[in-house]
Amino acid sequence: MGDLFNSEQKLHKLKQASLKELKTLQKLKMLEARAKRDAKLKKRLMPLPDKKYQLIYIDPPWKYDFSRSKRREIENQYPTMDLEEIKALPIGELAEDDSVIFLWATSPKLEEAIQVINAYGFKYVTSAVWDKIKIGMGYYFRSRHEHILVGKKGALPVPDPKNRPDSVIEIPRGKHSKKPTEFYEILENMYPKATKIEIFSRIKREGWDVWGFEAGMSPSSDQRTILRRPWEQE
């Protein structure tokens, strides 16, 4: 009986070792797929425009330090940047002396978002909330909203009273990280005559300049560069 139990123990250890190797291989394939995707995106990246704008709209590719599993990491959806990388972007050079910035941030990123706004030469003034209607995930509260923060530089006038939207904007959520196209219309109504650029844009829109890894890839914001499970890669 001792030999039988010993064999079972060895088999169990072998299975555990094989499972660990499989997970390591899957992780390696995922990282290789990410690197391949990111290399393609970097080739598409154009220099920042050599001009200045009165309105800057940005959805930073925030990096998160927590994830329930490798398959659910945000990096499988799109390339991310850490705080210092985002702050180091020369976005402030794009801003007119009198300008405004609208910056997206989830609740865990609010403190960092203020740092980014300041790093670009703006002062935080207010925010609005996108109510996604559908409840999501969360560690303290199950989130159903995101924040859009407003920063001001110089003396750009505030919007006319008739063009000031509700600070809580209810629009059902779409695909991962996709922001509703209605926000373009909201900003255009708030500042109809302002020169505008979207940073990390994924679509082309009349009246806007764009910059980012996926800028202008599709006339629809539904197009994303998403990584599937390792065995689903090309």
H-run or E-run covering 220: none
Per-residue model confidence (pLDDT) at position 53? 98
Residue 173 in this model has a pLDDT that exceeds 90: no
Is pLDDT larger for residue 36 or for residue 49?
A: 49
Domains and CATH numbers, the chain: 44-211 (3.40.50.150)
The whole-number pLDDT of residue 165 equals 97
Between residues 34 and 163, which one has the greater pLDDT?
163
- Tell me the pLDDT band of 230, cut-offs 50, 70 and 90: very low
Q: Indicate whether 196 pLDDT > 70.
A: yes
Distances (CA, A) of 59 to 36, 68, 156, 203: 23, 23, 22, 13
Rg (CA), the chain: 22
Is the pLDDT at 18 greater than 50? The verdict is yes
Q: What is the mean pLDDT of residues 11-38?
A: 64
Looking at residue 127, what is its pLDDT? 98
Q: pLDDT tier at 225 (50, 70, 90 boundaries)?
A: very low
Mean pLDDT computed over 144-150: 96
Lowest mean pLDDT among 91-105, 151-165, 216-230: 216-230
Residue 233, C-beta contacts closer than 8 angstroms, at least 6 positions apart: 29, 33, 227
Q: Is the pLDDT of residue 219 over 60?
A: no
Q: Per-residue confidence at 56, pLDDT binned at 50, 70, 90?
A: very high
Per residue in 62-102, pLDDT tens? 887 754 545 545 544 557 788 998 999 999 999 999 999 99
Counts of helices then strands in the chain (DSSP H, E): 4, 7
Give 36's contacts (C-beta < 8 A, 6+ positions apart): none
